[in-house]
Structure 1
Amino acid sequence: MSGQAAGFRATVLTLYPEMFPGPLGVSLAGKALADTAWSLETVQIRDFATDRHRMVDDTPAGGGAGMVMKADVLARAVDAVADERPRLFMSPRGKPLSQERVRELAAGPGAIILCGRFEGVDERLIEARGFEEVSIGDYILSGGETAAIVVLDAIVRLLPGVMGNAQSGETESFETGLLEHPQYTKPQEWEGRRIPDVLLSGNHGAIEKWRRAEAEKLTQERRPDLWDRYPQARKPRQ
């Protein structure tokens, strides 16, 4: 699938282009795609194989289980779409994706995303074509496509005009260095549980103080790694 957007351009190299746009074709991302706020192109890696069987993988050097995607085939696919955009390879050994990196990518021209399969890809391809390895968590998926969808969803929602209220993203988890505070809505009482009185008080100063305290409490309890970095996160962005 491709678009004619002048803004953020995503190109995904994959053995399963039919997986896209998938969730990216609905809700905020889907509306933005239809409105050409961003564009999505998929490239079938197998199209760049040169043998009659269209082989994209081979046995690992040194022995071992599984198959490894071939550097020469992948290089032809990458070179066919290469430009100034960052090149991301979805990999469990990559640097964990952060909201800060998502903001950086959203501010750029787009991304070329390589989705691996099998046991991975030839290391020489990663080095020779300058791929940044990115992980979405400490677990293993069947391939990089699901991870690529996660990355693109996180990016697209930050593009100008995609969120109806841009301010709604400013207090979300990770944007302030903390997890987000609890949220409530009507009815005021449900199954014997009431909305905290402070949220109904109309005292905006007290509400903000409560929200910050709850965010700090949740972060300390659930993400001590974030809490350890929190003093630095409170510094104004440069």
Structure 2
Amino acid sequence: MVTYGVVTALSLQENGEELLPGLDDLDIRLTLLLLATSLATASAYFLFILNTKFVGTSCLYCLSSAFISFTLFFIRLKDIGLARIQKFVGLQLAVAVIVALALTNSYSSATTQLKGTGDFVLEPYKTEVTSESTPFAISLARHLHSIGAKMYGAFWCTHCNDQKQLFGREAMEILDYVECFPNGAGKGKKMANECVATGLEGFPTWVINGKLLSGDQELSVLAEESGFVSESPEQS
């Protein structure tokens, strides 16, 4: 975005606006050419990564940026003319190589750091439910247990902990809760077979009457989905 801003400022100066004093016409045109070259090189690199490392992924912003960059590049080529371009080919190639090397180095560093996270191992720990259950939560938990409903979660999942706290300590002792990472998470750790077979897309996930509900749910939603009718008007 900064580069696009500089290109805009130089283009305005080229048309008579004194935004950057001290630059003659040739300086402005050469600077614009080199900036356009760097933008086109960067766009070409990003498109290469998109099509080789992220096959099947679409990026409207990337395509739009590439279109603008290549358009600016060809406009600058036409503006300077073939005769002058030949004098600056070496400089353009140098800029393109520098940009490509810088982007390659940045991409390699980023992917190396991401790969390093694969060695991370998180040992399992038990989360304590500190809240007290309401009568409604206890009644709902009994109903969910009676119809075979289950809550699938992970010990490291904050939303799972929020769901547990919403039910409260007494109700959670009644609910059928399945820990999907009983042996820990990270390198060499696998999700429990029951969780894999259920086809979970996130945590927590409720399975009620064969229906999957992803994310932490309000008690009223769980009551409605499970067909629970409370004798008490209290709901959370």
Which protein has greater RCO, CA pairs closer than 8 Å, 6+ apart? Answer: 1
Per the normalisation by structure 1, the TM-score is 0.25
If each structure's helix is expressed as a fraction of its own residues, which one has the higher value? Answer: 2
Name which one, 1 or 2, has greater alpha-carbon Rg: 2
If each structure's strand is expressed as a fraction of its own residues, which one has the higher value? Answer: 1
